[in-house]
Copies of this chain bind each other. A is one copy, B any other.
Amino acid sequence: MAYTIPILETLIDEFRKMPSVGTKSAERMAFYVLGLTDEETHRFANAIVGAHEKIHQCAVCRNLTEDEICPICQSPTRDKSTICVVENPRDVIAFERTHEYKGMYHVLHGAISPMNSVGPDDLTIKELLVRLNDDTVNEVIMATNPTVEGEATAMYIGRLLKPLGLKVTRLAYGVPVGADLEYADEVTLTRALAGRSLL
């Protein structure tokens, strides 16, 4: 570009680094920032720094939280006999949106993927096994993505858990195969939960 404002280019670059943001969107976002008041700008910047500093993994379920133990793990009204195993925290948000699931979660932070050199040890599988040591849990719902990696992860963990005498289930294929779980709508997710089958 023949003419640039370096500090504006820097901001556009920062926005462009975000997922699914192209140059045009990044430019629009940068100009949006220029149009904010001073107060709005600082609120925006502080939200970024604040969320990054204060959010970490729950000591129990590995979901993201501001607390030592997340509100779901702390809640006395949640059903502690069921654990829903998901790939990432966005999937927890998707399930909570259904208002149907009342059990616990376990966040793997990924899926087994030899292509991306992600093996079982890179996921929070050890932490899941620790949670199954007492007799509180009856059922583990494998709610990994309906992709090759998600299926492989569900199979792998299922094989680990079945010898423990647990009921291990898999989401019904109400969710469209090959898509990303976090984009499923509430109705589809609710049906997938209701129709879950033995693994």
Flag whether A79 is at the interface (Cβ < 8 A).
no
Q: Tell me which residues across on chain B come within 8 A of A90, comparing CB atoms.
A: 27-28, 31
Q: In the complex, which residue of chain B has the Cβ closest to the Cβ of A43? A: B14
Query: Could you say which interface size class chain A belongs to?
Result: 35 or more
User: Closest approach, in angstroms, between the C-beta of A70 and any C-beta of chain B?
Assistant: 8
Chain B positions within 8 Å of A50 at CB level:
7, 10-11
Q: Are A6 and B45 in contact (CB under 8 A)?
A: no
Stretch of A34-42, A150-158, A187-195 on the interface side:
A34-42
CA distance A183 to B1 in the complex (A): 16
Say yes or no for A148: interface residue by CB 8 A criterion.
no
Q: Which residues in chain A, 1-18, are within 8 Å of chain B measured between CB atoms?
A: 1-3, 5-8, 10-11, 13-14, 17-18
| A51:B97 contact, CB within 8 angstroms | no
| A100 CB, min distance to chain B CBs, angstroms | 10
- Given A41-B48, A48-B45, A51-B30, verify A66-B18 contact (CB < 8 Å): no
Contact at B42–A49, with CB atoms within 8 Å?
Answer: yes
Task: Give the docked Cα–Cα distance between A72 and B99 (Å).
Answer: 57
Q: Are B45 and A3 in contact (CB under 8 A)?
A: no
Closest CB of chain B to A190's CB: distance in Å?
A: 13
The smallest beta-carbon distance between A31 and chain B, in angstroms, is 6
Max chain B CB contacts within 10 Å: which of A1, A10, A43?
Answer: A10
Q: A51 and B183: CB pair below 8 A?
A: no
In the complex formed, the residue of B with least CB distance to A35 is B52
In the bound complex, CA of A47 to CA of B30 (Å): 10
Q: A183 → chain B, closest Cβ, in Å? A: 7
Are B31 and A52 closer than 8 Å at their CB atoms? no
Measured CB to CB, the closest approach of chain B to A95, in angstroms, equals 9
Residues of B within 8 A of A45 (CB): 45-46, 48-49
Decide: A33 near B48, CB < 8 A? Known: A2-B96, A55-B5. Answer: yes
